[in-house]
Each structure stands twice: as structure tokens, then as C-alpha cells.
Amino acid sequence: MNGTFSFFFHSPFKIVSQHLALRFVAFLLISRGNSEAVTMEYENKLVLAPMVRVGTLPFRLLAADYGADITYAEEIIDHKMIKCERVVNEYIGSTDFVEKGTDNVVFRTCNQEKNRLVFQMGTSDAVRALKAAQIVCKDVAAVDINMGCPKSFSVSGGMGAALLTKPDLIHDILTTLRRNMDTPVTCKIRLLKSSQDTVELARRIEKTGVSALAVHGRKVADRPRDPAKWNEIADIVSALSIPVIANGDVFEYDDFERIKVATGASAVMVARGALWNASIFSPKGKIHWEDVKREYVRKSILWDNDVKSTKHTLKEMITHYSCLELPEGKALIKSENLADLAKVYGEEEYFRLVSDNRFSLNGH
């Protein structure tokens, strides 16, 4: 859907009508049980990186509206996923993976993003990874294993960057997934201590049959302020035959081409640059971040996004350009639900129309 840019100039009713009509079509496709095989192309693609508490359905759709070809969901831990059951949410037209015996939505998607959505998983066990992947694999374009997160919660569980020092376990997880699923399997890594070590690991990963490899051009000990090492990503690209997705220091649209030329990568992934302004994916140039922010709020309302996730994402946007001590930030912090957020951003009418139209939409 490329009508995002015009949404800002429409009435709330027309915006709701466009959103709900598209959502209704997506729901019909879910109901029909679309079972076509999904393939993923990586050449010259712009990719939204996985971001915890950010990469939920509204933000993924927002990035896609502006031009993202592939969108990664936030990392979901395998332990959480295996406790879930798949539920078609007739209320909002989504497919939800809900923790059994609760109302807790662990993962939400919709049919309109199916062919570009990558489900990223945190795992340290091949059997558990397969069990979790099989629950969600029919609703996504690919399943990715996180091997680059340096956060303590991930590493302490033997997941994320902890896997980088366990090549046998990496092989076990990836080959188990490849042998038992038709859905493409990929993984995302960081750089090791030497370029040679990273290349050797990448070659071993390639032999498992993965469809692509994403590489964050920083080492585990590096901080975001440290420059990404594009030259070491280039070493990996030259050593492999599978597509490599380059990630690191992409903050403007022109950076997509710069890193692609510097590394030879098939595709380029962006995290912080997209978080701060999702219109980074647009070849027309960025629009004002305030407009992007408001469209994110609308999508969060439309898809009934978790309010904590929505607030976290908005805080990240605000603190990059401003601060939370101003009235907007204070009101955001006090907000307890999506209705409160609608008031903060002047979207009360939109919130009301979405709520009113859901009943009639579901009645059809």
C-alpha cells in the first residue's frame, strides 16, 4: 500500500475507510487459508531489521508503506512461542499467536505482510527451535535465528551472540530447521574477533542450506557509536554464494547504495535509522518525523497494538529529536492505553471511528 503519503491530507473517516477496507481484504485471505508456497528474493532489497519492542505489526506495516521490501519481526524466544496457539482474530482481522490459557498475544501478523515477513527467533536448542518454528512457519516468508544479540538476557540463555562461539550448535539448529520445514531459513550474526574467523563461520553456516545471511558489521563488544566495519562484511560477501544482507550505519536513503557498493551485499538492513524515521525507505526522501509518528499511532490503534510496545517506540522516536520532559513526553508517559495515546496525538476521532467500524466490518 503506497497511499501513506496522502493519508495526512484526508479526513479521519476516509483514513479509517481505507485502512479497514485493506484489513478486510486481508481477513478474507486469512479465512480462505491461502496455502501457496512462499519464496523470498533478496537482490537489491531494503530490509527492516529486527528490533525488540519495536518490530511489531504496526511498525512493520509502516516501514513497508514507505518502501521496505522485507520486514523482520522483533525477536521472539522459542520458550514463549511453544506455549502459543494460532488464533484468527476476527475482531481486527489479524492472525495472533496467543499464550495458551491467557489473552497474552506473543506475536501478531496479517496476511498482507506474509510474503515479506521474517519471523526472528531466539533459541539455544534445535528441537525447541523446530517446535516453535513449525507453529508460525505457514504465516511468514522466512524464519531467522538470532545469533547477534549481545544483551545479557539473550546471552545468559545461550541465545543470540552466545551462539557465535558454538558452531556445532549453530549447525545443529539450522540443519534441523532446514530438513523439517519448507519455509526458508536464515540467520543474523555479528563479526567475530578477526575477519578470518567470521568468514569461516559464515562458510559453515552457508553449508547448512540457509537462504541468506544477515551480518551486523560490529563485534559483540562494540557499541552503537562505534563505526560499522563494512570492509569485514565485504570479506564475507566475497567468500559466500548465498545472499548476504549488510547491516550497520544506515541513516539516510543514500546510505543503502553506499553500503551496498562498499560490501557487494545483495540487500541492506537498517535498524536505528528506520526507528527514528521509517520513511528512510522512501526513494522520494524522508518526510517529517512528526508525520511518521502520527501514522504509527494510527496503525497502532488500527491493529490494537500493545500499549507498552507503542509507548516504547514513540519514546525512542521522541528522544532522538527532542526529549521526554516536554508536554508531549510527559503525556505519553502517563498514557495507560491506546485511547489515551489517541488524545495525546489528536487522534480521538480516528480512535472512535476505528472502534465503531470494527463491529460492522466483523458483521460482514
- Residue 308: count other Cβ atoms within 10 Å of its Cβ: 9
121 and 204, same domain (yes or no): yes
Within a domain: 16: no
pLDDT higher than threshold 70 for residue 8: no
Within a domain: 27: no
**CATH code, domain carrying 167:** 3.20.20.70
Give the mean pLDDT of 194-204: 98
pLDDT band, residue 2 (cuts 50/70/90): very low
296 and 251, same domain (yes or no): no
118 and 224, same domain (yes or no): yes
61 and 148, same domain (yes or no): yes
Within a domain: 34: no
- Residue 51, classed as helix, strand or coil, is coil
Per-residue pLDDT of 226-255, as tens digits, reads: 999 999 999 999 999 999 999 999 999 999
Within a domain: 58: yes
310 and 270, same domain (yes or no): no
Within a domain: 200: yes
Within a domain: 175: yes
Catalytic residue from among 84, 110, 137, 149? 149
- Catalytic site includes residue 149: yes
Which residue among 276, 303, 327 closes a domain?
A: 276
In this predicted structure, what is the pLDDT of residue 7? 32
pTM, whole model, 2 decimals?
0.89
Displacement of CA 259 from its chain's centroid (Å): 21
- Distance CA(162)–CA(151), nearest Å, equals 10
179 and 230, same domain (yes or no): yes
In this predicted structure, what is the pLDDT of residue 37? 46
Within a domain: 13: no
E strands within the chain? 45-48, 70-72, 76-77, 84-89, 94-99, 105-109, 117-122, 142-147, 185-191, 212-219, 244-247, 267-270
pLDDT higher than threshold 70 for residue 3: no
In this predicted structure, what is the pLDDT of residue 155? 84
164 and 294, same domain (yes or no): no
112 and 203, same domain (yes or no): yes
Instruction: For residue 332, give the C-alpha cell.
Output: 505519553
269 and 125, same domain (yes or no): yes
Within a domain: 23: no
pLDDT higher than threshold 50 for residue 129: yes
In this predicted structure, what is the pLDDT of residue 40? 87
Which residue among 219, 244, 276 closes a domain?
A: 276
Pairing assessment for the beta strands 84-89 and 142-147 based on DSSP bridges? unpaired
Q: Is the dihedral of CA 209, 197, 146, 40 positive or negative?
A: negative
Instruction: For residue 146, give the C-alpha cell.
Output: 538470532
104 and 55, same domain (yes or no): yes
355 and 293, same domain (yes or no): yes
Given a contact cutoff of 8 angstroms between Cβ atoms, the answer to whether 254 and 223 are in contact is no
Domain of 303 in residue numbering reads as 288-361
**Higher per-residue pLDDT: 354 or 28:** 354
296 and 271, same domain (yes or no): no
- In total, how many domains does the chain have? 2
Which residue among 276, 311, 328 closes a domain?
A: 276
Q: Which of 8-22, 35-49, 112-126 has the lowest mean pLDDT?
A: 8-22
In this predicted structure, what is the pLDDT of residue 362? 55
116: Cβ contacts below 8 Å, ≥ 6 apart? 64, 68, 69, 70, 71, 141
12: Cβ contacts below 8 Å, ≥ 6 apart? 347, 349, 350, 353
